[in-house]
Copies of this chain bind each other. A is one copy, B any other.
């Protein structure tokens, strides 16, 4: 019998019209269990049995993005951080916090920010991204290095 998780993954892949393959299920599983956006490297590190090729992970993430299943949340240290798109509205992903000192990332899911207004006529906004940088509670007392 299949676990709830694998059923959910199957459904997601089916409804996105993507073939069900080992790498896709594994990567999706990691993203489903993550509470924050992950890089390709972090995804690979969280994979247990099957560790697909780096290229496959990137191509899988690209497919997921195309299907609207995943977002590129933000880029940090020259690396994209990917997360499931389910907690984002169409025009705005929730804000993300990154600690300058320890690098910890927090999704600020509750705190939506109103879209910037007053842009000159003719501009069409597809997406607004808000990022916060600072110190997390555990780093707050220390000097950021």
Residues of chain A touching chain B, judged by Cβ–Cβ distance below 8 Å, are: 75, 78, 95, 97, 100, 106, 108, 110-111, 113-114, 116-137, 140
Copies in the complex: 2
Do the beta carbons of B126 and A134 come within 8 Å of each other?
A: yes
- Cβ of A129: which chain B residues have Cβ within 8 Å of it? 130-133
B residues less than 8 Å from A130 (CB atoms): 113, 116, 128-131
Q: Once bound together, how far apart are the Cα atoms of A113 and B110, in whole Å? A: 17
| Docked CA distance A110–B118 (Å) | 9
Most buried by B among A108, A125, A128, A137: A128
Contact B122 A137 (CB under 8 A): yes
Instruction: Write out the residue numbers on chain B whose beta carbons fall within 8 Å of the beta carbon of A114.
Output: 113
Bound state CA distance, A136 and B125, in angstroms? 9
Q: Which residues of B contact A124 (CB under 8 A)?
A: 134-135, 140
Quick check: A123 and B133 within 8 Å, CB to CB? no
